Amino acid sequence: MARRRSGLQPLHLAGAIAFLAVAAGGYWFMTRDKKDRLAGNPFSASEYEKNANGMRGGTYVVTGTIERQLRYGPDGSRLFSMEVKQEGAGKPLPVPVVVPSNINADIQVGQEFEMSVLVDQKGVLQAKDLRKS
């Protein structure tokens, strides 16, 4: 008659490690910060340059460098010129971005930002959310 082994077997150890890995991955997935990504589709500077009207009403994520502040509105909003790098082109495209007063951010010329924007009816980008890149 064969004798049964008692104690931990290599298969038990492998199963425990696999279980812990799956549990840790599930915990990370459920608790990660949902604000890691901004809402919107990737912004295409070349498409905007060709047809800004076709992008109206869409929400996009744009990354660029603040070139200068153009206006300060009576409601506290600010209009900036933001240089957005074009894919396949060496020269960045300046686009107008309005940052409303409800977004309280220290925006300085030369800083790079990632913004979730809505393209309004005039083709101007309206910032909905932003963060420094």
Check if the beta carbon of residue 116 is closer than 8 Å to that of residue 61: yes
Taking CA atoms, 59 is separated from 41, 86, 104, 126, in Å, by 6, 18, 20, 9
Q: How much is the pLDDT for 20?
A: 86
**pTM over 0.95, yes/no:** no
The more confidently predicted of residues 1 and 80 is 80
How far is Cα 116 from Cα 113, in angstroms, rounded to an integer? 10
pLDDT greater than 60 at residue 98: yes
Q: How much is the pLDDT for 104?
A: 82
Q: How much is the pLDDT for 131?
A: 86
- Residue at token pair 């409800």: 102
Average pLDDT score, the chain: 83
pLDDT-above-90 percentage for the chain = 25
Average pLDDT over residues 73-78: 89
Check if the beta carbon of residue 111 is closer than 8 Å to that of residue 132: yes
Per-residue model confidence as pLDDT tens digits over 51-65 = 877 888 889 998 999
User: Looking at this protein, which amino acid is placed at residue 44?
Assistant: S
Give the model's confidence band at 67: pLDDT under 50 very low, under 70 low, under 90 confident, else very high.
Answer: very high
Per-residue model confidence as pLDDT tens digits over 11-52 = 878 888 888 888 888 777 776 655 566 778 888 888 888 887
How many CB atoms sit inside 10 A of residue 99's CB?
Answer: 26
Instruction: Locate 112 and state its tokens.
Output: 């790079």
pLDDT greater than 70 at residue 89: no
- The DSSP output letter for 53 is G
